[in-house]
Amino acid sequence: MLLKKQGFPQDEELVLCTVTGINPHSVFCTLDEYGGRTGMIHISEIAPGRIRNIREFVQEGKKVVTKVLQTNKEKGHIDLSLRRVNETQKRNKLNQIKQEQLAEKIIEYAAKQHGESVLALYNKLSEKVTPLYGTVFASFEEVAQDKFNLETILDKKISKALTDAIKARIKPPEVTIGGNLKLTSYSPNGVQEVKDALDLAVKAGVKVNYLGAGSYHFEIKAEDYKEAERMLKDSIESITKFAEKYDIAMDWARAEGA
């Protein structure tokens, strides 16, 4: 990992560690993101309940996500906890690490293309974007969505190489929501009127799939939930007004969990 944070971690911060030593009542780790600083996990912070054999929970060389309990900068001590990290926190932290590793690979690819130092390019980027976006990967997501131009911080040649690599490897975040709509018309021109009603949704960016018996599945994909909800709301309101105007029976049900 090229990512190296300065100083000491904050209390309550989640950190990725490598187990380096196991004693009967404690475990020693190096903090991967903090230049190999050493931390300790007391046996009481390994897992809930009584622990008979500490090695049933940790092994030397294993990567673990821990929570920082407290630091003593004067003595250089960092107290860690394994049991206070839940599965969601662990998954999110590991995902964040994987994202940063992907960002590093993209930087490595672009740097080698132009004969530049990988570490120098990473450090230059990190120095500029971390204060603004939190992580290098987060800034790359902005690049992928054309919301951030790397030419503002790097020369044009390396910026283009990085941007091309980013857009090839990082797809903009996307959410999907939807539901099922049933339309029934007894008008002589009912088939066309139902089609016209559905066209309102299609024009608004909704994907419409026919399920049978007058039922249709609506699916909306957008960069975030707010935009997806807006698109869905506008579509359903437009169809509702159209259905009322042409006396079309309408039944809308939001998909569970969408």
Per-residue DSSP letter, 45: G
Q: Where are the domains of the chain?
A: 14-85, 88-169, 175-254
- The CA-atom distances, in angstroms, between 67 and each of 87, 170, 245, 253 are 13, 29, 59, 42
pLDDT given for residue 190 in this prediction: 93
pLDDT averaged per 10 residues, the chain (length 258): 81 96 95 91 94 93 96 94 95 93 94 90 92 92 93 92 93 88 94 95 92 94 88 94 95 80
Question: What global pTM score does this model have?
Answer: 0.65
On whether the CB atoms of residues 194 and 160 are closer than 8 A, the answer is no
Residue 173 Cα distances to 53, 91, 108, 160, 180, angstroms:
43, 18, 23, 22, 24
At 71 the pLDDT is 95
Query: Which CATH number is correct for 14-85, 2.40.50.360, 2.40.50.140, 3.30.413.10, 2.40.30.30?
Result: 2.40.50.140
The domain 88-169: what is its CATH number? 1.10.150.190
- Which CATH fold would you assign to the domain 175-254? Alpha-Beta Plaits (3.30.70)
